[in-house]
Amino acid sequence: MSSTPSSPSDSTGSLAGLTSAQLDALAATAAADVAALQREICSALEAIDGSAKFQFDRWQRPGGGGGVSGVLSGGAVFEKAGVNISEVHGQFAPEFAATMPGDGLTFYATGVSLVLHPRNPYVPTTHANFRFLRRGSAAWFGGGADLTPYYPFLEDAQHFHRVLKEACDAHDPSFYPRFKAWCDEYFFLKHRGETRGIGGLFFDYLKDDLPSTHRFWKQCGAAFLPAYLPIVQKRKDTAYSERQRNFQLYRRGRYVEFNLLYDRGTVFGLKTDGRVESILMSLPPLAAWEYNYKPEPGSEEAGLYDFLRPRDYLTATPPPDTAAAATIGTQSQS
């Protein structure tokens, strides 16, 4: 096998267990899945928002391929929602290729990536990403979904994790614990000693039995709306005041910190001339920083911090602090 094939199809015989033609077909299917998921998610978000519509921008990547950025701004439910898809191909920079499986520099990637910033502070922010990559003779799936609440509702965290766990369990009982732990590890702000939110799933480099992995990946994508929308539906009309809005803006600052300091996709994209406006669509419409802010002990806001560490939300009996936080959260609804 050549170490620098000019395209993945140059190699003959078994490629990641599939023939080159089978991999081509899988890539085409994955790209179609990604486009269908964007349509489905955007439609569902417009329906629950009831006010604003997505605007779609089609863009070309100079090195090969392109994408469609979908943005909904100033909605009744979503202050800003971005749902991007892309299908790109070309040559990796050698130093970036060194961090990836496979061989050579030629790559193909397709994926959907979304970040939703709701208006109501009781509705969590969420992020999801589902992608398929080929490099030389290697091909793999990656993705995940995670939830970043501003107020600590145990039942919401449990619902989100339960739906994602069911999608995992249908394929392999080892997936949920493995990808849940990976998510906690990835979405961690070292300088703050906090997870970004309550986690979810994160997986990458899944390259064994690609047809089966493709079904798992697709099912995870399909699980996103059932995992998230019921929480939106339940919290979107909760009354809130300036206090909750200010706390939401303050916590959104953490989202900015994570994305600009740690998120590999963001940093890589910006430093390698990606389309800036699509990459930074993940940033909140408005965010605040306050020097040395500490939530009042015993407050709803303080309760959130108990959620910002890796924990198992699906155990039958929550630890006492969680139960207390969830109760405070529930009482606050009017």
Binding site for a second copy (CB under 8 A): 57, 69, 71, 73, 80, 82, 190-192, 249, 253, 256-257, 260-261, 267, 270-271, 273, 276-277, 280-281, 283-292
CB 277 to a second copy: min, Å: 5
Catalytic residue among 89, 117, 127, 161: 127
Residues linked to residue 118 through DSSP beta bridges, in sequence order:
78
Q: How many Cβ atoms are within 10 Å of 106's Cβ, its own excluded?
A: 22
User: Torsions phi, psi of 66, nearest 5?
Assistant: 175, -160
Candidates 174, 89, 142; CA nearest to 264 is: 142
Residue 237 or residue 290: which is nearer to a second copy going by CB?
A: 290
Residues linked to residue 199 through DSSP beta bridges, in sequence order:
147
Measured distance CA(238)–CA(215) in Å, rounded: 37
CB 129 to a second copy: min, Å: 18
CB 283 to a second copy: min, Å: 4
Residue 29 or residue 73: which is nearer to a second copy going by CB?
A: 73
Residue 56 or residue 182: which is nearer to a second copy going by CB?
A: 56
Active site residue 117: no
Residue 131 or residue 254: which is nearer to a second copy going by CB?
A: 254
Q: How many Cβ atoms are within 10 Å of 105's Cβ, its own excluded?
A: 18
CB 271 to a second copy: min, Å: 7
Q: Which residue has the tokens 């963001």?
A: 266
The angle, 0 to 180 degrees and rounded to 10, between the axes of the packed helices 20-49 and 210-235 is 10
CB 123 to a second copy: min, Å: 19
Residue 23 or residue 71: which is nearer to a second copy going by CB?
A: 71
Integer distance in angstroms from the first to the last C-alpha of the chain?
A: 65
Identity at 143, one-letter amino acid code: G
151 neighbors 161 (Cβ within 8 angstroms):
no
E strand or H helix at 145, and its extent?
strand 138-148
Residue 39 or residue 192: which is nearer to a second copy going by CB?
A: 192
Distant-in-sequence contacts of 288-292, Cβ < 8 A, 24+ apart = 288/246, 288/249, 288/250, 288/252, 288/253, 289/250, 289/253, 290/250
Q: Helix or strand or coil: residue 108?
A: strand
Tokens linked to 248 = 């939401």
Residue 267 or residue 314: which is nearer to a second copy going by CB?
A: 267
Measured distance CA(213)–CA(290) in Å, rounded: 44
Spell out the residues 6+ positions from residue 125 whose beta carbon is closer than 8 angstroms to its own: 115, 116, 117, 118, 147, 148, 149, 150, 197, 252, 255, 284
CB 39 to a second copy: min, Å: 19
CB 158 to a second copy: min, Å: 31
Report CA 63 to chain centroid distance, whole Å. 25
| Residues annotated as catalytic (active site), given as ranges | 127
